[in-house]
Each structure stands twice: as structure tokens, then as C-alpha cells.
Amino acid sequence: MPRRETVECFIAMVSSNDHVRAIEEFYAEDASMQENLAPPRVGRAVLVAHEKAALGRVASVHTHAVTTFLVDGDHVAIHWIFDFTLPDGSTRRFDEMALQTWEGEKIVRERFFYDPATVTAKPPAG
């Protein structure tokens, strides 16, 4: 079961857009991540590589301040909102819930829940 302070440190690291380091520091070596009903990605090295590739496809990421998260034993739920700016200047917003299972101070399983239809796109300004 994670300490609440550990979860707060994880949230702070992601909120500062240090996404890769958050995976490296807070996920177990055999951790998995799953987007909605897609097959899970397994293994911290795979998760890090996927995150680096995803971040390499965008110009920038803005992580909104987390206002809602719950810690209940080994289970953590976090409401994330991310704005991704693409190289062409357009943006995409992801409004999602992350449900995590922790073992001690490490995340072992995470699943993101969001409605793909709500991933809003805005054209570039100008």
C-alpha cells in the first residue's frame, strides 16, 4: 500500500511534465499500463519507450493541476487532464481517470479510462 505522500510525489512529478522519470521511479519493473480496452503494455522498459515515443510526436504537453485523487489501500484513482500541442499547432485534450494498483511504493498495474470521442481537437491559432 503506498503512502499518501508517495502518491502526491508521483502526481507532482507528472504534473511537472516529467512523465518518463515518473515511470522510471514509480512503476515496478513488471508494471503494466492499459488504455481503455486495448491490450496492456507490460514492463517498465516498454512503458518508458512508449512514453518517450508518444512525447516525441508532440510539440508540448500541459498537465492540468490534479484536483481529484483517491488512495484506498493498494488502489489509487487519479483524474488527469492533459493538453497536447501537436507539431502543426493543433491541440488535443485527454480527460481521463487512471485506476492504479500499487504494491508497496510502486505501481504494478494502471488502466486509463476515457471516451475517445471526447478527445477534443482544436485547430492551430491564427
From residue 1, alpha-carbon distances to 30, 38, 111 in Å are 17, 27, 18
Which one-letter amino acid corresponds to residue 64? H
pTM flag (> 0.85):
yes
pLDDT tens-digit series, residues 29-67: 999 999 999 999 999 999 999 999 999 999 999 999 999
Mean pLDDT, the chain, rounded, equals 94
3-state secondary structure of 19: helix
Which residues on neighbouring strands pair with residue 68, listed in sequence order? none
